[in-house]
Amino acid sequence: MQIRITKQRAAMVALFVLAGVGLGSLLSPLVGNALATVGQTMNISDHSSAANFAKVDSAGKLAVGDGGGSLTVDGAVTATEATPKNFAALTLSGFSNGLGYCSPVSFPTGKALIIRSIFADISLPPSTSFSSTFWSLRKGTTCSGPDIIAEHPGSTFGGKSIQLDPGFPVAAAAGGISLWAKNFSDDPGFSIATYVYGYWVPASAV
């Protein structure tokens, strides 16, 4: 059997071929590239420099940072509250004298203290205020360590709350804290009680 190819048929075949090529070129970015990305290495960049590429380590983890050393956090971060079993409530009290009165409290073994607040209660105020009449809460159990807080008591009865957020650390090496109360010479003393609230942490945390 003999097939005759006319000019009209040749033109129709050419038209179908061109249409197929055009359709393939339109679909290839959608199909061909999608298939080619499997197992293919790709770079992510900001296009400003060849050095500004995202990096992945040998375990396939994406490296994340803000360009300034360790990754930082914008805004406020709320720390997790201590569990109830680590809550600390210490009471130190006494009556001042001209030589000074010391009331110590020792820490549990291997524990440091984070102080969140102190309530100071002057149940019997001094009759007269002098610069050498004061009380202080100090690091250590001998009343000779550095002050955590110190104040000249007022001449009226009353208490006050002192907040130390986010927390004042006292290392386990201090061994404890102590209250020091001293009045001027032979002037009648004053009575004070301090209530210290916070939480215990491992010695290595401070």
pLDDT tens digit at each of 206 positions of the chain: 555 556 566 556 555 555 555 545 544 544 444 444 555 677 777 667 666 777 777 777 777 766 666 666 666 555 556 678 899 999 999 999 888 999 999 999 999 999 999 999 998 888 777 778 899 999 999 999 999 999 988 777 788 999 998 999 999 999 999 999 998 877 778 999 999 999 999 999 99
Q: Which of 152, 172, 168 is nearest to 160 (CA)?
A: 152
Q: Are 105 and 90 in contact (CB under 8 A)?
A: yes
Could you tell me which CATH number the domain at 84-205 has? 2.60.120.260
Q: Are 63 and 55 in contact (CB under 8 A)?
A: yes
Q: Are 32 and 26 in contact (CB under 8 A)?
A: no
Give residue 188's pLDDT: 77
55-70 pLDDT, tens digit each: 777 777 777 766 666 6
Give residue 152's pLDDT: 87
pTM over 0.75: no
